[in-house]
Each structure stands twice: as structure tokens, then as C-alpha cells.
């Protein structure tokens, strides 16, 4: 990234970077979702684009959404790791800074000092939310540290501790309190390095306060804390690459990720049509457009092959509206694969299509996993996609004389 | 490189390594230069060779000639960086050692202490050369340090300071004096680290002497100094790989680069025919022949698609003469791509053909970018080409038991 930063030459060229979340798939009855989809626009575009497959981490590694996106934006996903507490909080719509400690919390049931149910009977979301709101009303701060509660699904919720000042690296080295098995005592809040001791003390006091308010409950009378983490120090996307970036995404987690790397945000509600509208509306004001389309992944996670196919087909119908903007570089890809066959993220490399005036083209006959494998980009680490994008927008100077 | 060195087993097999500078291209009216060229010899050879595409630095990075060639010879181009002063001096035919500081200099016009023209009106080459010769006659040394002036094109020239002894690493950490904009004062000669202070003092004195001789001129009365650099410590090519290498190149810069890594040099004048003659003449004396053909790149840089096509076709006519030598390994590739479409070096991976008895072959139907993308070498970092070449000449032992 430092080498790239040193080679940046700004220009007016515009980049549209579309992420169809969980795009890659696997064959079911011989065809992947991309192969089954009727998508003449994408197929035509693939024939004149540079195609390939990219690997978010390294072969065989299935990425979460955090590493998947960091990699797409050129950040080494092994070097820059985003904790689970941070990801959960971003997903629940809390914007985080270096002043924050984010915690993934969940209700559990304690009896005679032992955890008898780690999920408090998967307590319904509505009921869980009521408890969380109650805590939120009663606990606003601990020793000058602001406390933010955010209800989540079922037994889950998030806690963010907002300190008066930016925290030192390592302040989040605090162990989970979940004993992982029922019939055991919850683990104590414990710093695993000296830098985290101050934060651990605050969390201990917070837990005591929480338990005070839960003490008369039969179930959901304990809270387990996991993934205690702070946002990593990430280089600013816009200043690193000399771009004015904007994130067009409907899900809070992706907006949160984009915010972490300093992208501007649009608070778009809806799905593909609303996102394309936003792209058109703001096209003059920015030069890098991260358009995130979530539902492709959602259908994959549900094992809904047809649903994923239909979502890809729906995107294809909006493709002409993107092309009508005449972006200098257009990328269409995913952050990872989510084959409906597996009902989950997978390790398979992700199809990518890069359209610019400076490609060979002609190597892939359609936009599918197998055709992308024949493309001029080959199979490459995702982390290099941004340098390819910048090169194709003529924003990179020559390296060396 | 150390791993490779530890595996070397010498033998008598001969390697011919042809670099068609700036070989790779992009389609114009659907065909790249290589696709448009009528080159039956290369196409036939590609069908029985291992083909692929190589990336000199990493995806998206456009290499200069320095990084491009270092990579071809197995040197990590990010680790071994060659300064602009060094490259300019090599290009003007000065052979450099670790005793030398090389400077890219240019005439500028100063008025009332401000740079009013950074290029002294792009003073004609003949006139500029006269001034440089005048300086050269009057300034032979500064405090025991030999001073070498070499005229260049227009306002440019090179200065080499030759010290009595090898310089310590970091001796060249000296800032440019070019203020980059007109209407500003020239910047002072300033060391940016302690190791360079001695050299900076010599350069200050040199600049004072130069300005003394220019002081009565109306224009071209100042000299800006840039890219102050020394040659990096590069492992010796021949002893690392157990080869007797010879460089057959007509342009000084490539001969200079070859000299930096310890290759033997032939001072060939002319173009392809003269280079092939030299190859034949010296074929018995060496076992690694770096044959550098410049003009392919030159036409690319000029945006002359047809010229580049014709140069490739010309090379094809001489291919039988190379094959008649029956080299054990023959490589034909470039140091980077120079699409006429872009009129400059580019980031696109470079086609390569590796002919030896130990390849699969049969995957590429001709020697073009798109056919090489289908080849058995895939798309790979250029820095691995030398290990492939050595393997195909059976000069590498097994690694591990």
C-alpha cells in the first residue's frame, strides 16, 4: 500500500466498484448460480473485459465479511484484523472510532454460580430488546466512560464503551468470559496484556452494574462478553489512493466498514434500484463508488439457489443504467463466494470483471466462475485488485526509471 | 535468490534469453501488435513451448526499465531499487561502481535568485553539450573526488562523482535541488541522513564551481540536481547462478544494467542483425546470452502500432538463426509491456515463451498476449522466470530430501 501511495497521480477518471456480496458459487445439477442466471448484459460485458478470480486471503481460507472487504480495498486482511465486537457493533449501526471498545454480548442463564444456558433459551428478539433497553436506560456511563447498548437478534446484543480519548493499541487485549460449555462458571474479565488493564477494570464494573439490574431474573440473568475489540488503525482509503470515495450500501455493517477506512457514506434504504438511483444522483460529486449489493449473499446463506440466481438476474437488468454513466473503470465482483450448496461463505475464489479501455478482453465468453478462470487476470490475491483498478484508471505512475 | 544459489549445479547447457523491450501490447481495432504481426516462426515455437504472462512488480504496477530488467534476472525489484541518477548515467554510457555518486542534472535559468525556467528553454542538445564540455574541461576534481560530466538530450546531462574508495550505504541520501515550480528559489544541497553529509559537502562545492563558470550567462546559468544516487549492492549474476553471462545490447542503459550485476558486455552497434551476429560469434564462449532488442519498445512509446508490428516481424525472420544454434533453453519475452495505445510502459503482464526439451507445450496456438494467458506458466511474478530458466537447463538440484 505504501508503494502504491507513492505512485498515485490524481486525475478525473471515475471508478464504479460493485460488490455483489457472496457472488461466487458452486454447481448444483451441473451449473453454478452465475451459470444458471440469464444475464445477457453481464455476459456481454465479460467478453470485452479483463476477467479473473480473486482470493480474499489465501487458497482454502474462507473469509468473513471484514477480511473480504478489506482485501477488496487493498488492505492486507491478515495484517488488519477487525474484531468480532467491532463487526457486531458496526452491523448494529454504531459508528466506531479509536475511542471505542466494542463488545459482542449475549444473555445467558446462571444458576448456583454455573452457566446452565449460554444463550438463555435463545430468548426471542423482542424480549431481549426490552432487557437491553432497560439496561440502556439505567447504565449511561461508568467512571466517565460512555456506555452504548444496541439490541441484536435473539440473545445477542452489542456494548460499546466510549472513552474520553483515543485508546492505545492493545487496550482491547481482554479475554472472553464465555466458558464455551454449559455447567461451568463464567470466566472472569481478564486483561491478557498490561495495556488493557484499565479497560478491563471498567468492563468489570460495567458487568457488576449489569448483573445488579438482572439479579432478580430467573433466566437471562447473566451476560457473557466476547470479541472485546477496538477498530484497527487503518490507512485512509481516500488519501492513500487519491480518491473521493463514497459508499452506497443498505446494510449497516458495510457502511460501518466503509466508514472505518474513511469513505463517505450515503444512507440508502432499499435494494438495487435505490442504490442505482443514489449512484446516478451522486455521480458528479465523487470518483470512487463502492456499491454494495447484499441480497446475493443472503440467498446463498439460505441455500436458496433460485433466489440467488434471480438476484443476479435483477442486477443484470440495472447494468445498462451503470454503463450509461460511462465510468472509466467498472468492476463487478464479490467479497467472497457463498455457494447455495454450502449455505455459507466459502473459500472459493471470486469471479471478477474489470472493464476499462486498457484491457485485452476476449478470453471469457460469459461472466461465470469457469469463464473467469480463463481470463487475463488469472487467479490472484484480492489485495491486488485495487492496484489493478488504479492502473486502469491511469492513476498510477511508473515505478522506477 | 539465496535458495536458488544453494541449489545450483553447473553444466554445459546454454541459455539464450531474448528481451524484446516493451513487448506486450493492447488491442487496437481488436488486435494487439503481437496478434497483428505475421510471425510464423514465433507462433510455431509458441506451440511447442511453455508460455505464460509475467508481472515485473505486482498487478497494476508499471515498471521502469530498471525494475523490469532486475526482475527478469531474478532480483526483487522492490528490494533493489536503482536511482534515477544511476540510470541516467548508465544510459549515457558511464560505467558505475560502488565508488560513484550519480546525478541527473539539468540546466535552468535563474533571475534575481529565482528559477524562472526549470529547463532553460529546453536548450538545444548541441548547445547544451557545448556548455557541458566547457564544464568538463574546467572541473576535473573536487577535493580528490573525480568529476565526470556527460552531455545528454536538450537541457539534461549527468554528473558522476568518483570517490577514491567504495562508499558506505546511505551516502546518497541527498535531496533534489529542483523546487519543482518556477518562480521559486532553488533548494539547497542537503543530506537527509548523517551518512550522506560528506558527499553533500562535495556536491555543494561542485555546484559553486559550476555556477562560477555559468555566472555570466543570461540563460542556462543554473544547474538543478536530481536523483542523486549510487548503485545498489547487487548479488553477482554469474556467480549466483553458476553461469558465464554475456550481454548483447546496443543501448548503453541496458549494458550498464547488465554491468551492474556483473555480466560481461559486448559493445554492439546496430540493431537485430548485428546482435544476432554477435550471438553467433560468441556462442562458444558463454552459456547465458542476454540479447536485448530495444526498438520494439521505442515504437510502442511513439504510439507507432505498425512500427512495433514490423519490428516483431523483423525479429521473427532472425529466429531461425537463433534456433540453428540449438540452445538448450530459449526464452523470448519483454521487460514490461509498452502498448502503442498508451504510448508508454504499462502494467500489463508480459508474454513469455520458454523453449526447452522439458515443457508440456500445446496450450498456446501462437505467441500473443491472449494465447500466452492460456499457457502452462500461467500469470506469474517475473522474478521467478530465472528459476524456471535454470530448472529447464537442469542447473538446479532438488530442494530438500
Task: Give residue-wise pLDDT tens across range B66-78.
Answer: 999 999 999 999 9
Contact B59/A387, CB-based, under 8 Å?
Answer: yes
Contact B61/A376, CB-based, under 8 Å?
Answer: no
All structural domains of chain A: 2-81+235-392 (3.40.720.10), 85-229 (3.30.70)
So what's the pLDDT on residue A95?
A: 87
**pLDDT over threshold 90, residue B300:** yes
Q: Which residues of A fall below an 8 Å CB-CB distance to B?
A: 3-4, 7, 358-363, 374-378, 380, 384-392, 396-401
**pLDDT over threshold 90, residue B93:** no
Distance CA A121, CA A231 (A): 31
Q: How far is B371 from chain A (nearest CA, A)?
A: 9
Q: How many CA atoms lie within 13 A of B106 on its CB side?
A: 26
Q: CB A236: neighbour CB atoms within 10 A?
A: 12
Give, rounded to a whole angstrom, the gap between the first and last alpha carbons of chain B. 20
Interface mutation target, options B23, B51, B60, chain A, most CBs of A under 10 Å: B60
Interface mutation target, options A52, A372, A400, chain B, most CBs of B under 10 Å: A400
So what's the pLDDT on residue B345?
A: 97
Pairing outcome for strands B350-355 and B329-333: antiparallel
Which residues of chain A have a CB within 8 Å of the CB of B53? 376, 378
- Any alpha helices (H) in B21-173, and if so which ranges? 33-36, 40-47, 65-72, 84-91, 125-138
Which residues of chain B have a CB within 8 Å of the CB of A390? 60
Q: What is the mean pLDDT of each run of 10 residues along chain A (401 residues)?
A: 94 98 98 98 98 98 96 96 91 91 96 95 94 97 97 94 95 95 96 96 97 96 96 95 97 90 92 97 98 96 97 98 98 98 97 98 98 98 98 96 79
Q: What percent of chain B has pLDDT over 90?
A: 93
Interface mutation target, options B31, B55, B61, chain A, most CBs of A under 10 Å: B61
So what's the pLDDT on residue A105?
A: 96
Task: Give the residue on A whose Cα is nearest the Cα of B62.
Answer: A398
Confidence of residue B401 (pLDDT cuts 50, 70, 90): confident
So what's the pLDDT on residue B180?
A: 87
Which residues of chain B have a CB within 8 Å of the CB of A388? 59-60, 347
Q: How far is A49 from chain B (nearest CA, A)?
A: 12
How many angstroms from the chain centroid is the CA of residue B214? Answer: 33
Average pLDDT, chain B: 96
Residue of B26, B59, B373 lying closest to A363 (CB–CB)? B373
B181-219: string of b/e by CB count within 10 Å (b at 16+)?
eeeeebeebebeeeebeebbebbeebbeebeeebeeeeb
Distance CA A389, CA A380 (A): 14
Task: Give the residue on B whose Cα is nearest the Cα of A376.
Answer: B373
Which residues of chain B have a CB within 8 Å of the CB of A374? 373-374
Q: How far is A243 from chain B (nearest CA, A)?
A: 17
Joined together, the cell numbers standing for residue B69 give: 530488467
What are the CA-CA distances from residue A282 to residues A248, A274, B177 (Å)? 10, 12, 43
Comparing CA positions, the residue from B349, B297, B356 lying closest to residue A363 is: B349
Comparing CA positions, the residue from B233, B273, B198, B226 lying closest to residue B107 is: B226
Task: Give the residue on B whose Cα is nearest the Cα of A388.
Answer: B60
Which residues of chain B have a CB within 8 Å of the CB of A363? 370, 373-374
What are the CA-CA distances from residue B81 to residues A9, A283, B195 (Å)? 20, 40, 19
Q: How far is B372 from chain A (nearest CA, A)?
A: 9
- Cβ within 8 Å of residue A39, ≥6 positions away: A312, A313, A315, A316, A367
So what's the pLDDT on residue B194?
A: 95
Contact A391/B61, CB-based, under 8 Å?
Answer: yes
Interface mutation target, options A15, A352, A360, chain B, most CBs of B under 10 Å: A360
User: What's the average model confidence in pLDDT over B24-30?
Assistant: 98
Q: How many CA atoms lie within 13 A of B374 on its CB side?
A: 16
ipTM: 0.89
**pLDDT over threshold 90, residue B197:** yes
Q: Which residues of B fall below an 8 Å CB-CB distance to A?
A: 26-27, 32, 53, 57-67, 77-78, 81-84, 87-88, 227, 339, 341-342, 344-349, 369-370, 373-374, 378-379
Contact A380/B378, CB-based, under 8 Å?
Answer: no
Instruction: Specify the length of chain A in residues.
Output: 401
Classify residue B12 by burial, with Cβ atoms within 10 Å: 0-12, 13-18, 19+: exposed
Task: Give the residue on A whose Cα is nearest the Cα of B84.
Answer: A401
Amino acid at each position: 500500500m505504501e508503494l502504491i501511495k507513492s505512485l498515485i497521480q490524481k486525475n478525473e477518471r471515475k471508478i464504479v466498484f460493485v460488490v455483489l456480496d457472496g457472488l461466487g458459487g458452486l454447481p448444483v445439477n451441473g451449473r453454478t448460480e452465475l451459470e444458471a442466471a440469464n444475464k445477457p448484459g453481464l455476459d456481454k460485458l465479460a467478453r470485452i473485459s479483463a476477467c479473473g478470480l480473486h482470493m480474499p486471503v489465501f487458497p482454502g481460507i474462507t473469509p468473513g465479511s471484514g477480511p473480504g472487504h478489506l482485501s477488496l480495498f487493498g488492505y492486507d486482511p491478515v495484517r488488519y484484523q477487525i474484531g468480532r465486537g467491532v463487526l457486531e457493533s458496526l452491523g448494529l449501526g454504531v459508528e466506531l472510532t479509536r475511542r471505542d471498545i466494542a463488545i459482542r454480548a449475549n444473555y445467558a442463564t446462571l444458576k448456583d454460580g454455573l452457566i446452565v444456558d449460554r444463550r438463555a433459551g435463545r430468548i426471542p428478539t423482542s424480549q431481549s430488546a426490552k432487557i437491553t433497553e432497560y439496561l440502556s436506560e439505567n447504565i449511561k456511563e461508568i467512571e466517565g466512560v460512555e456506555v452504548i447498548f444496541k439490541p441484536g437478534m435473539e440473545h445477542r446484543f452489542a456494548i460499546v464503551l466510549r472513552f474520553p480519548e483515543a485508546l492505545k493499541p492493545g487496550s482491547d487485549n481482554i479475554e472472553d468470559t464465555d466458558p464455551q460449555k454449559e455447567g461451568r462458571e463464567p470466566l472472569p474479565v481478564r486483561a491478557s496484556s498490561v495495556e488493557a488493564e484499565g479497560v478491563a477494570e471498567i468492563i468489570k464494573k460495567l458487568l457488576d452494574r449489569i448483573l445488579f439490574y438482572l439479579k432478580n431474573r430467573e433466566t437471562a440473568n447473566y451476560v457473557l462478553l466476547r470479541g472485546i475489540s477496538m477498530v484497527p488503525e487503518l490507512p485512509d482509503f481516500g488519501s492513500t489512493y487519491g480518491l473521493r470515495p463514497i459508499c452506497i450500501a443498505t446494510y449497516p455493517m458495510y457502511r460501518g466498514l466503509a466508514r472505518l477506512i474513511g469513505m463517505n457514506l450515503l444512507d440508502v434504504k432499499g435494494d438495487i434500484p435505490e442504490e442505482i438511483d443514489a449512484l446516478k444522483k451522486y455521480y458528479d460529486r465523487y470518483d470512487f463508488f463502492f456499491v454494495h449489493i447484499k441480497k446475493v449473499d443472503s440467498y446463498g446463506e439460505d441455500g436458496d439457489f433460485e433466489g440467488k440466481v434471480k438476484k443476479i438476474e435483477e442486477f443484470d437488468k440495472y447494468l445498462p443504467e451503470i454503463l450509461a454513466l460511462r465510468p472509466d473503470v467498472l468492476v463487478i465482483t464479490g467479497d467472497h463466494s457463498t455457494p447455495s450448496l454450502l449455505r455459507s461463505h466459502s473459500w472459493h475464489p471470486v469471479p471478477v470483471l474489470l472493464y476499462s479501455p486498457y484491457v485485452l478482453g476476449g478470453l471469457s465468453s460469459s461472466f461465470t466462475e469457469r469463464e473467469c478462470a480463463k481470463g487475463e487476470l488469472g487467479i490472484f490475491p484480492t489485495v491486488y485488485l485495487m492496484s489493478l483498478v488504479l492502473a486502469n484508471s491511469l492513476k498510477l505512475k511508473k515505478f522506477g526509471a
